Amino acid sequence: MRAVVTREKGCNDELKSWLPEGAVVDEVPLTTTHYFEVSDVLESLRADPRWGSFAALVASSARCARYAANVRVALRDGALLAAVGQATAAALVEENVVVDVVGRGSAVNLAPSLKDGPVLVLGAATPRDELRVALEAKGIDVLSLACYETAPATLRESDETTLRTADVVFIGAPSAWTVARGLVRPDALVVVPGATTAQIVRGSHDNVIEGWGPELKERLAGR
């Protein structure tokens, strides 16, 4: 099996751990990240009337760690701190942020652990909305706070060749699929974290597995 992980360098270790033994893995980052100034993010949050009342903080990626350390002042006492994935949790710990709950795979897997609101979700300028939809369905108020934005990466010819020859490609967001679409073989398996990205990918590709997590090792075995 030839697999390609497509998040930025340093963000793919957890994905690699979900591949079967013997898989040949390449990294081809499909997006680049522009980080917002921490002071600007904090100023935007201070203007929200829910300041000081947030019952939970969710960091949706490791990119949010340094922001999480600063926005804790907007939380109420005893607020829950949650992370999407072990890599995000580890990044938060490095920023001296104590993590109460770690969700595996997609952010929506945290929904059962979030029982009270409002909930502050740190993420990209164009976030996936599975968690927000799940929480609002339970009557929980959600604020999505943008900490960074992503842009398409410029691929080298060798990167394009790697994608064309892959048996399995991990696509973490619709923005990544925008870059990869047209380079992934029709018979290649595309693995996505959740329903939003799955819907986008299935619009032009039939072979899709939805859901990131350790169980992928068994689902991908023998491919």
Please provide the DSSP assignment of 49-101 as one string. Answer: TTTT-EEEEEE-SGGGHHHHHHHGGGEEEEEEEEEESHHHHHHHHHTTPPPSE
Q: Which pLDDT value is given to residue 154?
A: 93
Domain residues of the chain, as ranges? 2-30+153-220, 34-150
Average pLDDT over residues 79-92: 88
Higher pLDDT, 165 or 174: 165
Give 172's pLDDT tier (boundaries 50, 70, 90). Answer: confident
Name the one residue in this structure whose structure tokens are 């859901």.
Answer: 211
Query: Model confidence over 60-78: pLDDT tens digits?
Result: 888 899 999 999 999 999 9
- Which two tokens mark 89? 């949790």
Token readout for 88 is 């995000």
Segment 177-186, tens digit of pLDDT: 999 999 999 9
* pLDDT confidence band for 222 (50 / 70 / 90): low
For residues 131 and 222, the model is more confident at: 131
What is the CATH code for 2-30+153-220?
3.40.50.10090
Q: At 190, phi and psi to the nearest 5?
A: -105, 125
Q: Match domain 34-150 to its CATH number in 3.40.50.720, 3.30.465.10, 3.40.50.10090, 1.10.260.40.
A: 3.40.50.10090
Q: What is the pLDDT of residue 57?
A: 97
Q: Is 160 helix (H, G, I), strand (E, B) or coil?
A: helix
Which pLDDT value is given to residue 11? 82
Residue 193 to residues 103, 113, 197, 212, Cα–Cα distance (Å): 12, 19, 7, 5
